[in-house]
Amino acid sequence: MSHPTTTDRIRIFDTSLRDGEQSPGFTMSASQKIAFAHALAELGVDVIEAGFPNSSPADFGAVQAIAREVRGASIAALARCHPGDIEACARALDGAAAPRIHAFISTSPLHRKHKLNMSREQVIEHASMGVTLARNRVDDVEFSAEDAFRTEREFLVEVFDAAVAAGARTLNVPDTVGYATPAEIRALFEYLRANVKGADGVVFSAHCHNDLGLAVANSLAAIEGGARQVECTINGIGERAGNAALEELVMAMKVRPGYFNADTGIDTTRLLETSRLLSRITGIQVQRNKAIVGLNAFAHESGIHQHGMLKHRDTYEIMRPQDVGWPDSQIVLGRHSGRAAVADRLRQLGYVLEDEQLDQVIAAAKALTQTQHIIHDADLQRLVEGERYGPGW
């Protein structure tokens, strides 16, 4: 970095409703998209990418409704550098308080040859035309060079120069197929900031896919290289293996303030409920061990960890569960738990036992784990109250 001494504002561009929604299994109805857009605005994202209006009448309608209803964030809509797409975006965004048209074209040699069948010059012409048309309709235009990471660097600079000259305010650099490594993406952003004409007047943006599980790491490295907008999704949903997970990115910056010196404006206490709303809408749960919002994110079962946690929570937690919306951490009693955790749980349940009784309950509780994974409060109560040992307790 770009490890600035003053805190830098990193803009959060959420594309759950576009890149996320267009992936298999995550399709949403218009009313679900609207509800989720409201939740994103409450979460405090800067930009909500609401959809791709020219892709279907349903998408057009959802973008239009979000643009009319949702306040507190810019509303973006995606367009290829085609007049029809730009026109559809402008019409769908008509009611928005802060509309953004997001125009894109592929720039990599592979995409130019096999997808677009265009020369470099044609790509530049289209980029320039798309941004110009968009700027004729709205002030806030973002330009994306699809597959930017696999594009020749010098050519990428030429395309971005043309987009800036045509009026783009944000230059998005997608790692469309999730191929980058953190060091490479950081170097690419440093190179672009040093070489694009007018770089100081635009915001550079990272859009990382997760094909190698590196989307969040790459987005953070892009910030180190000078990106000041990151494109991400709740729960990391998105094409193929997904996009960078918003909750992970935001918490990495929050938990390591000295490292990133970055502020996102996100109300992190809403992360869990926003994640859960998305799961309810799509019917797809996050995995148990998902960072921040998975069931195990603040749960501790092993005896050594539980003992440490009971003495000082910083031993095994780097953030407070309440900071991301959980009521508290969870000490889960199971096969790996130790005496200290069982005794503590019993105390919380109101049972202060003599050593001998405690040993018996612990032994009986451990025996339960031969047939069940978790020792529940009800199990402990039953054991102490003597269902197993008789009323003599």
Q: What values do phi and psi take at 140, rounded to 5?
A: -95, 105
Nearest to 181 by CA among 226, 234, 220, 154: 220
Contact (Cβ atoms closer than 8 angstroms) between residue 325 and residue 319: no
For residue 282, the partner it binds in ligand KIV, Zn ion, none, with Cβ less than 5 to 8 A by kind, is none
Residue 51 vs 174, nearer CB to ligand KIV: 174
Contact between 146 and ligand KIV per CB under 6 A: yes
* Between 100 and 207, CB nearer to ligand KIV: 207
| Residue 19 within binding range of Zn ion, rule CB under 5 A | yes
Residue 235 binds to ligand KIV (criterion: CB under 6 A): no
14 is in an annotated binding site: no
Nearer to ligand KIV, 215 or 250 (CB): 215
Q: Is residue 36 at the binding interface for ligand KIV, with CB under 6 A as the rule?
A: no
Tokens standing for 50?
């609401």
- Greatest extent of the chain over all pairs of C-alpha atoms, in Å: 89
Cβ 377 vs Cβ 349: under 8 Å? yes
The two tokens of residue 92 are 């769908």
Q: Residues 212, 22, 273, 65: what is their CA dihedral angle, to the nearest 10 degrees?
A: 150
Is residue 14 involved in binding Zn ion (CB under 5 A)? Answer: no
- Among all chains, which residue has been given the structure tokens 């130790």? 338
- Contact mark string toward ligand KIV, 170..199, x via CB under 6 A: --x-x-x-----------------------
Consult the annotation and say whether 19 binds a ligand.
yes
- CA 219 to chain centroid, in Å, comes to 10
Alpha-carbon distances, residue 247 vs 123, 221, 254, 267, 275 (angstroms): 35, 16, 10, 11, 8
Q: Hey, which bits of the chain come out as E strands?
A: 8-9, 11-14, 47-51, 74-80, 99-106, 140-146, 170-175, 203-208, 229-232, 262-263, 299-300, 330-331
**Contact residues for 22 (Cβ-Cβ < 8 A; gap 6+):** 52, 55, 239
Query: Smaller CB distance to ligand KIV: residue 19 or 161?
Result: 19
Q: Of residues 89-108, which lie at the interface with ligand KIV (CB under 6 A)?
A: 104
Q: Which one of Zn ion, ligand KIV, none is in contact with 144 (Cβ closer than 5 to 8 A by kind)?
A: ligand KIV
Task: Please report whether residue 130 would count as binding ligand KIV according to CB under 6 A.
Answer: no
Residue nearest Zn ion, Cβ-based: 19
Q: Rule CB under 6 A: is residue 142 a binding residue for ligand KIV?
A: no
Q: How far is the CB of 333 from Zn ion (least distance, A)?
A: 42
19 belongs to the binding site for ligand KIV (CB under 6 A): yes
Task: Give whichever of 99 and 174 is closer to ligand KIV, judged by the CB atom.
Answer: 174
Distance CA 12, CA 177 (A): 21
Q: Is 207 annotated among the ligand-binding residues?
A: yes
To the question of whether residue 175 is assigned a binding role by annotation, the answer is no
260 sits near ligand KIV (criterion: CB under 6 A): no
Instruction: State the number of binding residues for ligand KIV (CB under 6 A).
Output: 9
Pairing status of strand 330-331 against strand 299-300? parallel
Find the shortest distance in angstroms from Cβ 52 to Zn ion.
11
Residue of closest CB approach to ligand KIV: 174
Binding site for Zn ion (CB under 5 A): 19
Binding site for ligand KIV (CB under 6 A): 19, 104, 144, 146, 172, 174, 176, 207, 209
